[in-house]
Amino acid sequence: MPVRIKEWMHLLRCLICAAALVVGFVHGAQAHSLEEIDAMLQGDEKYFQTIDKPAPDFTLRTADGRVVRLADLRGKVVVLHFIYTSCADVCPLHAEKIAEIQKMVNGTPMKDQVTFVSITTDPTRDTPDVLRNYGPTHGLDPVNWLFLTTTQDQPEDATRTLAKAFGHKFTKTDDGIQAHGIVTHVIDKEGHWRANFHGLDFAPINLVTFVNALTNNIERPHHEQEAGWLAKLKNLF
């Protein structure tokens, strides 16, 4: 299939997903419960892992020196991941995957309820100028995206320690390369860690669907038939 046709098909799928998500957002009372979405993703998304515990706390800062605490993000669903900018292979791909998800979210009313957070695990090399330039290079929109680094009084390995608290390691070698896994974390509006999406092969719409449930504060299951917007959305893929 020609590349241009593939690109148009991908765009069409994203537009269909965005439209379906708008319907689900507007009619939140009809959306499936978080329990039902957990069950759906456990069956349909092999890279999904449900989590149920408080997210590891952090106090970090932006390129402009503004201090950001996890508590400051209460009231928002947080999509969080760890990268470092000199990573030449999977980190740029991870950033671009997050950018794709952000575009899908920001095409819906969820835009004001979701914050995307990237955290560098290489604060020495990732200077403020580097942090400022990384997002535009990879398509991330600063309207609801933060790139965080250590504060001046924190040790150099503070964010790598934080990544470990989230369940994966960034092991720094003498040449500056860091061996690491790829995980996207989802935190709810109360600062509760609700899910991981592992690797780069998960379907972005599955993460967006999960975020949609969290933005609607859908916690209690109900017995809507499998004929609503979510079922139709699942059938597209």
Residue 57 belongs to a domain with what CATH number?
A: 3.40.30.10
Lookup: tokens for 158: 């503070």
The lowest-confidence range among 1-5, 111-115, 138-142, 220-224 is 220-224
pLDDT in tens, 177-207: 999 999 999 999 999 999 999 999 999 999 9
Instruction: State how far the Cα of 140 lies from the Cα of 116, in Å rounded to an integer.
Output: 9
| Whether residue 172 has pLDDT greater than 70 | yes
Reported pTM: 0.80
Res. 22 pLDDT band, cuts 50 70 90: very low
Residue 154 to residues 84, 123, 129, 166: CA-CA distances in angstroms? 17, 10, 19, 18
Give alpha helix (H) positions in the chain.
3-26, 34-44, 90-106, 128-138, 158-165, 204-215, 229-235
Grouping H, G, I as helix, E, B as strand and the rest as coil, residue 197 is: strand
Average pLDDT, stretch 88-100?
Answer: 96
Name which of 54, 102, 49 is nearest 74 in CA terms.
54
Provide the domain limits for residue 197: 3-235
| Whether residue 25 has pLDDT greater than 50 | no
With b for 16 or more beta-carbon neighbours within 10 A and e for fewer, the 210-220 pattern comes to bbbbbbbebee
Res. 34 pLDDT band, cuts 50 70 90: confident
pLDDT value of residue 4: 54
| Whether residue 38 has pLDDT greater than 80 | no
Domain count, the chain: 1
Mean pLDDT, the chain, integer: 84
Res. 222 pLDDT band, cuts 50 70 90: very low
Of residues 26 and 79, more confidently modeled: 79
pLDDT in tens, 41-93: 877 889 999 999 999 999 999 999 999 999 999 999 999 999 999 999 999 99
| Amino acid making up residue 168 | H
pLDDT value of residue 162: 98
